[in-house]
Structure 1
Amino acid sequence: MEMTRRGLLSALSAAGLLAVLPAWPAGAADRSRLLANTVALFAGTAASNSRPETAAKRAAITRTAQANIAELDAAGPDELFAGLPLGTSDSNLNTTYRKLYEMALATRTPGTPGPAEGGLFGDVSVQRRVIDGLVLLHERYYGDQSKGYYGNWFFWEIGISQHISRTLVLLADETAAYRPALIRTYVASMDAYLRNGTDGDVNLDSRFHTGANLADITTNRILQGALLDDEARVRKALTDQLTVFVTIDPYDLKHGVTDGHYADGSFIQHSSVAYTGSYGKGLLTRVVQTLKILDGSGFAHGENLVPTIVGWVRDGFAPLLFEGWMMEIVKGRAVSRPDSGYVDAAVVVEAVVDLSVLAGGADTRALQSYVKHIRATSRAALDPSVFVSPLSIVAYADILADASVPAADLNAASRSIAFNAMDRAVHRRAGYAFALARSSERISKYEYMNGENLMPWYQGEGAYYLYLSGQDQTQAYGVDYFTTVSPYGLAGVTAPVERRRTVPDLYGKPFYDNPDHPLHFTSSSESQNKYVYFPRGTAAHSGGVVLGAYGAAAMVQSDDAAWRDRALLPGDFVVYRNATATKSWFMFDDEIVVLAAGLGDRAQRAVTTTLDARTALPGDAVTVTGELADGRPWNPGTSGSGSGTADLRWLRYANTTRAAAVGYVLLDAPPVTVSLGEVSRSRRVVRTANPDTTVTRTVFGVTAAQPAGARLSRLAYALVPHASERQLRSYRHGRLRVLANSTRLQAVTHAGLGLRAVNTFTPGRHEVAGLRVDGPASVLVRDDRRDRLSLAVSDPTTHRDTVTLLLRGRHHLTAVEADDAVRVRPVPGGTQVEVRTHHAYGRGFTAVLSG
């Protein structure tokens, strides 16, 4: 269920608001409820903390606080904690406030030792040290706003305020007794640091106050309102936060905001970055926490919003979690962080656990079953001690202990998902998941920022990830994949043969700095975003369609905005030109078929296309076998054997240590180069803040090379997860046929499934396999039986009003089922299907025809 614009606007109207946000009750009971709920959220309760499942969390809270106190005692000049000099580092100031929060938390966490037992619970002296620290920081480093607000805006408007607000809530009573003016002093300063806001409050027209960032800011302000017993502040913060529940309509943007959840399950942050796995999970966490903070108060309104959040989980998050791993395609710059996809999934699981408590009926049971499913299928044990809340740990334990709750995925065993609003596709089967990242004039090619994701250039150029079931994905993907695999040789990528330089290497700092240029390049300027941090492509064509459990996707590879606008940019600003490619991905049961045409380079450079890149641990037994085009066997060797080039019919990669295998059927390909060898690099090559840890992986790659100056070429192949050699040999018999592979038209048939899959890239009529397709379009047609077929159609450019399809020779078909936008009628030559795609934003439309 999505929160509709009509529903939200009704809620925000003068009359309707009261239905969602009840009036603040008379007296102080509600203020006390909000404060108590917040303390319980972060510190737990006597009941929750008496449970053995919270022991590790409680011990970690105490351990962290005691370490902070030792650093507090060892601090030198211009430090509150040893090793964190203050006055010029926004990051150090943020960390300093976080450490004070961690100390305060330990003093309010029931079930931990008190001072008499060598612990901190209830220790007023520690609480006063925290308060004294707050006073000192405000006097010397925070209270003078003319000296603050250096570095990253996020710390000043969100991060620091979050630590301060939570600390003040934890110590509200002691602060009122010891430093009664401190809360108002700090709230006034936090307001002053909302410089992207208006008069110290949220500005919904600001590009900084959107999505996950808006949820963070408004939750902070709810806590501040509770501290001040300020009804108006709480009400305004909740009203602002309600806007993140609106499903984004690209054709009717509110406040110009494109950040948020879309009807197809997509989530975008930073205007154009596919971001479910990082900012999206942050937003999910924050809104669920807010509902818990409000629970039982006069502002509780979960019954209005929980169905919307359940929809986010079902349609947005669940498709992107495979056996407890968050997929790389929706993590932006976070792919370069050492935290794994399993850690990302644990954040989502905690939110789902809490949501199951807030929901009711069938939703509660479905969410609980999903939690059990992730626990059962994850290749890494989910450690609930990483949860933020002891209450969540207890609720998680109760779900696992409830024998009446079966483990059940929110995904069907076979599911294909077109996240066209964020240029992503996911294809799931019981044994694997395939995840594809595209880009366009709407969606960024990659995200780099703050020294994170230093070599991102091709991550949105049709890069894909084939996750095999039963595997520890940290050994196959995650930060070590991007560390050891060449950024020019990511799976699925077509790239010119050139060496690119990272932003810090180019400019000597983590951004391009030229505030005097007309485009005004500063660390967080719009020009920095557009040309450095997350540039979009320049082609419109990127989309696809789903028919049942099958999918088709397409993309025209393009230059990014900086190359297009190079004449407008400063002379020392470095721009790069892309290679050319028109690509399709057709996703079936046992295979994913990839077609590429127009491969080459306008500058006549050499170009490589990577069919796949996989990593394994150095000790794993990895073998590569294949069959040459003339039918002879091909066996280049095992791990560490170097590389070789051969004209192959098929190829098989096998990691027998991990019981993992992938096959590659070369349907139409030049000789390919197969490489296999160990690569060792420091994780700092992808992120400046990473520990200088050297990782070693056995890297397998399959590439097709195109020499400099060569004519544009084409390529067709199939990825076959878990393939055996016998299975790969069976493709000789024509189960898959490539019908067309050009920059105008790409199409295949799958005889076993009765599927015809077509992508057209140019205007006009395209004839293939008994179909006439009015392009550009993505089309899937399945012959269910002799007198019945189903079809799906979409406009991958998002610009067309209608797409027309003619089914040749089928004169008597009528619609048995059809979306409202589909019209079916007989015409000379067959049956015409006309689909209205006006303002559909890449959505697919389906119909079932009979006759």
Structure 2
Amino acid sequence: MRMTRRALLSIVPAATLSAVAPPQRAWSQAPREATPAEAAEDQATLIGNTVAVLAGTADSNARPEVAAKLAAIASTAKARLAALDGAGSGELFRGLPLGSSDTNLTTSFQYLYEIALATRAPGGAAPGGDTAVQRRVIDGLVRLHDDYYGDQSKGYYGNWFNWEIGISSHLTRTLVLLKDELTAYRPDLTAICVASMDAYLRNGKAGDVDLDSRFHTGANLADITTNRILQGAVLGDEARITKAVADQLTVLASIDPYHLSHNVTDGFYADGSFIQHASVAYTGSYGKGLLTRMVQAVKILEGTGYAQGQDRVGAVREWVVRGFAPLVFEGWMMEIVKGRGVSRATTTGYTDVAEVVEAVVDLSGYAAGADATALKSYVKFVRQNSRATLDPARFLSPVSVARYADILADTGIPAKDLNPAERHVAFNAMDKTVHRRPGYAFALARSSPRISKYEYMNGENLMPWFQGDGAHYLYLSGQDQTQAFGVDYFTTVSPYRLAGVTAPVETRRTVPELYGGLWYDNPERGFTSSSESQNTYVYFPRGAGGLSGGACLGAYGAAGLVQADDVAYAAQQAGTLPDDFVAYRNARATKSWFMLDDEIVVLAAGVGDPAGRAVTTTLDSRVSRVSRVPQSADTVTLTGRLRDGTPWSGTGTAPLAWLRYADADQDTAVGYVFLDGWRPTVALETVTRSRRAVRVSNPDTMVTKQVFSVSVEQPAGASLTSMAYALVPNASERQLMAYTGGPVYVLANTVRVQAVRHKGLGLIAVNAFTPGHHHAGHLSVDGPASVILREGRDGTVSVAVADPTTERDTVSVVIRGRALRAGSADEGVRVDRVPGGTRIRVATRHAYGRSFTATLRGRRRAEG
């Protein structure tokens, strides 16, 4: 979606405007004209740049800060050579039998690359002598190709990604690193291997990229085109390089959902959202990979004619500021954008951010002026605020390690976040919301007919069913997030009791339990491992209906969700799926989240189940360490007050006015204020479970956690008209007691409209879910719509209006009893007076859920 500068200003905090609102760019690539000599020189530069990226340079590798990275390269190569020496029958490397496992074949190519890398690292210690070792690698390539890869009729089993991207990435890099020795020892091998890689690009067109293929999008397209650029360089194939560069540039364009190019929805959107697999919010996994690959492209194309006329740096910098920075809290990547990656024991949110940091380090070396300083300052900020020590030896490039050391040592660079201290970001294009304040960050996962409820694939994220149904993650400052979230959160917290989720009381079975394999296998009905039917109904089903979206006014936000079934259940009920396909029915709820300063106010209405099952609504779930010292006191304490003012401490069901959870081990606390009269259930239990419960390939590691939950339990057949509560991060008991009689008031809480007023902020927030006029306070809202109004002490009134359906042409709001005039307004906003008040009309057509703002002026409204 292309946005005017004025429209962009309305949704981006002022502190980051200079970094996120550059002029619009055209990403078409003019045909390159170069003489054979110029092309040969550029290709040599490209190869030299790539070797420097992977293996470092003499200058970088002489730095003492890079010694650990070089040692890691050498140690890895030594281990791979030992595995090569110890291989048995049917193996190239010990423990990796070949012939039926695409993963083992990919790993074997990876091991050869890792050995080759050690032979090209200046200052490294390649075991066995460079030439001899390089020829062993080449012999290994020959064997893998001749026995297990070169015959396409025997290949392409398992995951398509390994054949089109994984193997090609390792093999292509090896061809680059060993180009000179290949020329001397096996001059025919490079062309043979590239021809085989082309033959395996079966989702392409004639062995090349096909921009109309659903497999050649986003991060996958960046990987494939980078491989083809490098293949062209080692072959001296000018046409291959220029075509791959042009194809790669397409990923830099923001996705316009109303004018899709090649029908592709994968990529970055104007609001900073990133989507992969057509409907999965994926900034923290595939988006991270795309960022890394595009920064690497900047580095390998530097100094060549292939980079002329491009501003990759400016485009990628926008991704960092708008797409990544809001999702990184104290060095941790938030769970809401990691898809199936949340179940992996091999990585954490801290290691995810380390990859982002390396990309930002390198990007800062190509940015200029204030942009370069801001990126370097962000690197320092993440380093200073992360609870995990970032190990630069894990960076891909030794050059990046040296550049990182330079940034940290530069006393002229301040440590500064790319986020302002208070920020609200509505990633409506991917149905996610992030709310940040000093001391905490709140992340909310929604879903819709546009965005998947969850992602399951390849035995990863086995129990994901409710992760897009309003699940939230409350990150607290100073906390080690590996103790609060990550794989152990999903391992020990019941999938039916994720924080924020309303779920039916039932037992669901995982895909392997249902079908005896990692996917639903029914080729006759179009279900194969990577088919569109598999994607739509098994791997990442979208919501079947309802509303998801919200408004943003400065650093304040409102979000709404009408919980519904997913498309798999809807299709099953319509009789369009096979009889043995299993789909699960969801519970129902209409929910709002009003995100303020000290609290997040949550309203729910119409909570129940059409099938009459019992329903659990979990207000929050948190995990903590269990003391390893026998007879030691628990680190978690629970205190509270009943509605009659009586002190309360313990678990069970009680008429609570407020509850405080405190974890002494992490020095954190969360308060819960119950704004109406229902009785929550409080539980604190010790849970032990294997990490394999959430991912079949995780180590069988048993995890023990204290699991806290506060929930509302509805018996079978019951319907809950409404509930209202507030999450209060870092709350003290005194602060919680102050909520009696204010400052938060519920104005409406039905399936039609939900609204709150915060007297201290002078703020009213409304979510209208159904058509018609809805009244809340002195607002009348033409629904469906999301509206936030805030009155300033100087008489100004600021208003934000959004269409959470993304389908309306206009939305109108009337401020009753006020005669106001427009001070400033976004393009598309019209303000006029009507009998009894002031009307704001907003042209929301093709706005894709973004907020429109206006500032109005008039006499200050009397409080009351």
State TM-score, norm by structure 1.
0.96
- Selected match of 1:660 from 655, 660, 668: 668
1:311 and 1:28 map into 2 onto residues whose CA distance is 33
Which residue of 2 is the match for residue 42 of structure 1?
A: 54
Alpha carbons of structure 1 residues 307 and 758: separation in structure 2 relative to 1, 3 Å: same
- Selected match of 1:523 from 514, 525, 529: 529
The unaligned stretches of length 5 or more in structure 1 are: 637-642
Task: Give the Å deviation of 1:657.
Answer: 2.2
Task: Give the Å deviation of 1:6.
Answer: 7.8
| 1:429 and 2:447 correspond | no
Alpha carbons of structure 1 residues 252 and 329: separation in structure 2 relative to 1, 3 Å: same
1:291 and 1:690 map into 2 onto residues whose CA distance is 35
- Selected match of 1:470 from 468, 472, 478: 478
Which residue of 1 is the match for residue 8 of structure 2?
A: none
| 1:307 and 2:307 correspond | no
Which residue of 1 is the match for residue 862 of structure 2?
A: none
Which residue of 2 is the match for residue 649 of structure 1?
A: 657
Which residue of 2 is the match for residue 84 of structure 1?
A: 96
| 1:769 and 2:781 correspond | no
Alpha carbons of structure 1 residues 621 and 829: separation in structure 2 relative to 1, 3 Å: same
Which residue of 2 is the match for residue 628 of structure 1?
A: 642
Whether the 8 Å CA contact 1:379–1:470 is kept in 2: the answer is yes
What are the within-5 Å matches in structure 2 for residues 304-343 of structure 1?
Answer: 304-338=311-345, 339-343=347-351
Task: Give the Å deviation of 1:807.
Answer: 0.6
| 1:555 and 2:569 correspond | no
Which residue of 2 is the match for residue 781 of structure 1?
A: 789
1:328 and 1:598 map into 2 onto residues whose CA distance is 28
| 2:293 partner letter | R
Alpha carbons of structure 1 residues 817 and 17: separation in structure 2 relative to 1, 3 Å: farther
Alpha carbons of structure 1 residues 669 and 607: separation in structure 2 relative to 1, 3 Å: farther
Task: Give the Å deviation of 1:113.
Answer: 2.5
| 2:494 partner letter | S
| 1:156 and 2:163 correspond | yes
What do residues 602-647 of structure 1 show as CA deviations (whole Å, max 9, x unaligned)? 00100000000001110261100010111100011xxxxxx41111
Which residue of 2 is the match for residue 110 of structure 1?
A: 122
- Selected match of 1:193 from 200, 205, 208: 200
Which residue of 1 is the match for residue 447 of structure 2?
A: 439
Give the number of equivalent residue pairs: 831
What do residues 791-850 of structure 1 show as CA deviations (whole Å, max 9, x unaligned)? 000000011000000010112x11111100100011111111000000111011000000
Which residue of 1 is the match for residue 630 of structure 2?
A: none
| 2:353 partner letter | A
1:658 and 1:197 map into 2 onto residues whose CA distance is 51
SS of residue in 1 equivalent to 2:497: coil
Which residue of 1 is the match for residue 829 of structure 2?
A: 822
Alpha carbons of structure 1 residues 426 and 76: separation in structure 2 relative to 1, 3 Å: same
Task: Give the Å deviation of 1:540.
Answer: 4.1
What are the within-5 Å matches in structure 2 for residues 203-242 of structure 1?
Answer: 203-242=210-249
1:546 and 1:35 map into 2 onto residues whose CA distance is 47
What are the within-5 Å matches in structure 2 for residues 373-392 of structure 1?
Answer: 373-392=381-400
Which residue of 2 is the match for residue 202 of structure 1?
A: 209
1:177 and 1:533 map into 2 onto residues whose CA distance is 47
What are the within-5 Å matches in structure 2 for residues 194-593 of structure 1?
Answer: 194-301=201-308, 304-338=311-345, 339-517=347-525, 520-566=526-572, 567-593=575-601
1:605 and 1:671 map into 2 onto residues whose CA distance is 20
| 2:57 partner letter | T
SS of residue in 1 equivalent to 2:260: coil
SS of residue in 1 equivalent to 2:639: strand
Alpha-carbon RMSD? 1.4
| 1:124 and 2:131 correspond | yes
| 1:744 and 2:744 correspond | no
SS of residue in 1 equivalent to 2:305: coil
Whether the 8 Å CA contact 1:24–1:298 is kept in 2: the answer is no
Task: Give the Å deviation of 1:302.
Answer: 8.1
| 1:723 and 2:735 correspond | no
1:103 and 1:815 map into 2 onto residues whose CA distance is 67
- Selected match of 1:843 from 829, 850, 863: 850
What are the within-5 Å matches in structure 2 for residues 25-64 of structure 1?
Answer: 26=38, 28-64=40-76
SS of residue in 2 equivalent to 1:367: helix
Higher relative contact order (CA 8 A, sep 6+): 2
SS of residue in 2 equivalent to 1:756: strand
| 2:267 partner letter | G
1:501 and 1:473 map into 2 onto residues whose CA distance is 29
Whether the 8 Å CA contact 1:25–1:298 is kept in 2: the answer is no
2:682 and 2:787 map into 1 onto residues whose CA distance is 33
| 2:298 partner letter | L
What do residues 87-106 of structure 1 show as CA deviations (whole Å, max 9, x unaligned)? 11100000000000000001
The unaligned stretches of length 5 or more in structure 2 are: 1-18, 628-633, 859-864
Task: Give the Å deviation of 1:4.
Answer: 10
Identity %: 66
1:46 and 1:296 map into 2 onto residues whose CA distance is 19
What do residues 13-49 of structure 1 show as CA deviations (whole Å, max 9, x unaligned)? xxx455xx98876262211111111111011011111
Mean Cα displacement is larger for which, 178-187 or 303-312? 303-312
Task: Give the Å deviation of 1:787.
Answer: 2.5
Extract structure 1 runs of 4+ deviating beyond 2 A.
1-9, 21-28, 300-303
Whether the 8 Å CA contact 2:721–2:750 is kept in 1: the answer is no
1:493 and 1:17 map into 2 onto residues whose CA distance is 53
2:412 and 2:386 map into 1 onto residues whose CA distance is 21
Which residue of 2 is the match for residue 175 of structure 1?
A: 182
SS of residue in 2 equivalent to 1:111: coil
Alpha carbons of structure 1 residues 401 and 588: separation in structure 2 relative to 1, 3 Å: same
1:710 and 1:698 map into 2 onto residues whose CA distance is 30
Whether the 8 Å CA contact 1:544–1:551 is kept in 2: the answer is yes
What are the within-5 Å matches in structure 2 for residues 140-151 of structure 1?
Answer: 140-151=147-158
| 2:165 partner letter | I
